[in-house]
Amino acid sequence: MPKSTNVERERRILDSAADLFVHYGYDKTAVNDIARAAGVSQGTMYLHFANKDELLERLIVREMEVFAQAWLERVEADPEGGRIGGMYKNMLYALSSSPFLAATFRQDGRVFGNYMRKPDNVFRRMQEGQAQSPRHLFVQRMQEAGALRTDISADVITHIMNMLAFGLVGMDGVVPSHEMPPLDDLIEGIATIMDRALTPEGGVDGDVGKTIIRQIFEAAREQVQQMEESEQENEVNP
């Protein structure tokens, strides 16, 4: 059966699914729950998605695409966006804009449940298509361009960046809310620390960093597009 091309209805379904998955978790959310929240029938749901797994995977890809675009736009608009602190700051702002996106970033077992046990889940497919993470590639290229200290390995810098990002989106329920500084203050503080700790003496040309980010984002966009085209081909020729 050909899939529906009703973009607005599909957006409404995906938005409703994101809210329910975050609140109840993937395992406890039924297709009928999503249909009811989106104001459509369960039969209509299947005009867009073959099953709940496919719906979740489309939602994850959509959220990653929205995140990437928001991050790039923030970097481009920020005069300091090409520095390590500016790059990281704008990534954190984009990441913290959506609870589902934060759950996707940390591959939250509570939210994604049994889906994470699938050997061909979308997270594994994305990782298989990458020789290295975009963040590691950015650090490596910044070092090669002289825009980042080289006396600390790219592996270590990338791991520290991951630790900070995971900590930012995973502190709820760990630290009492009254002890948490405002989010903007945290993000700006992290950016300041990153710049002061990792920028080479003499400073850097911010345009170099922005050029590197554009190149990495374009490569990531092509990878996602190839993955989507491959899935569409598999649907036509199972």
Strands (E), the chain: none
For residue range 154-201, list pLDDT tens digits in order.
999 999 988 888 887 777 667 777 888 888 998 999 999 999 999 988
CB–CB of 85/65 below 8 Å? no
Per-residue model confidence (pLDDT) at position 129: 60
DSSP assignment of 47-68:
TT-SSHHHHHHHHHHHHHHHHH
For residue range 92-120, list pLDDT tens digits in order.
888 888 899 989 988 899 999 999 999 98
Is the whole-model pTM more than 0.85? no
* 61-236, CATH topology level: Tetracycline Repressor; domain 2 (1.10.357)
CB–CB of 180/154 below 8 Å? no
Spatial neighbors of 213 by CB under 8 A, at least 6 apart, are 72, 75, 81, 82, 87, 138
Domain with CATH 1.10.357 in the chain: 61-236
Domain with CATH 1.10.10.60 in the chain: 1-49
Residue 74 to residues 55, 62, 99, 146, 222, Cα–Cα distance (Å): 28, 18, 19, 23, 21
Distance CA 135, CA 158 (A): 7
Decide which of 3.40.50.300, 1.10.3720.10, 1.20.200.10, 1.10.10.60 is the CATH code for 1-49.
1.10.10.60
For residue range 177-188, list pLDDT tens digits in order.
788 888 899 899
